[in-house]
Amino acid sequence: MDHKAQLARLSAIEDHSGRSVPVRTSKCLGICFQANVVVVQPSQAGRAAGGRPVWLGEITEDGLVEAIDDWIFRGGPGIAPLPAALTGHVTSKDAKKPKKRKKPKHSKTAKKERRKEKREKDAARSDRDGGKKTKKDKKDKKAGRPKDGKAKKAKKAKKDKKDKKARAGKAGGD
């Protein structure tokens, strides 16, 4: 968005009497998350007819600036109805920034979602690797084993049995 061009375009707006409309700039109106913000003040006739300032947010397209120009030319707040193109852009100086929706960390649904995402991620990794186990998978598998004395004893017993068979094979073959 070319802010200087937009400001020049807004500064060139004239009302239905051919008078140029005053344009003031500000660093921040407090609702910067809806930039660019334009506040359209009613004319004296508009104020007398009950018009109040209208805050418009997210004015980032030339078509919206054109709609503001047309509205002011027809009389603006209090005299002319708000153009349909601008209705979704009406805001206020008290607008609150929408909060991001946080995922609950401890609910059953959240845990199910995390498990589902992990399964999908693992399946995608498996597809990418052609179904082969990677070093990381092997490490993860080893990390999941219990590290108690029974597991070590069973492993040692298996190795001893294998060594005993190997020795018996050598002794019988001489």
17 and 64, same domain (yes or no): yes
82 and 109, same domain (yes or no): no
pLDDT band at 26 (very low <50, low <70, confident <90, very high): confident
64 and 108, same domain (yes or no): no
Angle at 33 between CA 7 and CA 105, to 5 degrees: 165
Distance CA 55, CA 30 (A): 12
Output the pTM of the full model.
0.49
Domain interval for residue 131: 100-144
46 and 82, same domain (yes or no): yes
Based on the structure, what is the number of domains in the chain?
A: 2
pLDDT of 49-60, one tens digit each? 888 888 888 888
pLDDT of residue 8: 81
Do residues 95 and 31 lie in contact, with contact meaning Cβ atoms separated by under 8 Å? yes
Residue 117 has pLDDT above 60, yes or no: yes
pLDDT band at 172 (very low <50, low <70, confident <90, very high): low
Considering the domain boundaries, does residue 112 fall inside one? yes
Distance CA 39, CA 3 (A): 16
Residue 6 has pLDDT above 50, yes or no: yes
More confident residue, 131 or 164: 164
| Helix or strand run (H / E) with residue 54 | strand 54-56
Considering the domain boundaries, does residue 162 fall inside one? no
109 and 134, same domain (yes or no): yes
9 and 72, same domain (yes or no): yes
Distance CA 138, CA 79 (A): 74
Considering the domain boundaries, does residue 161 fall inside one? no
pLDDT of residue 11: 77
pLDDT band at 132 (very low <50, low <70, confident <90, very high): low
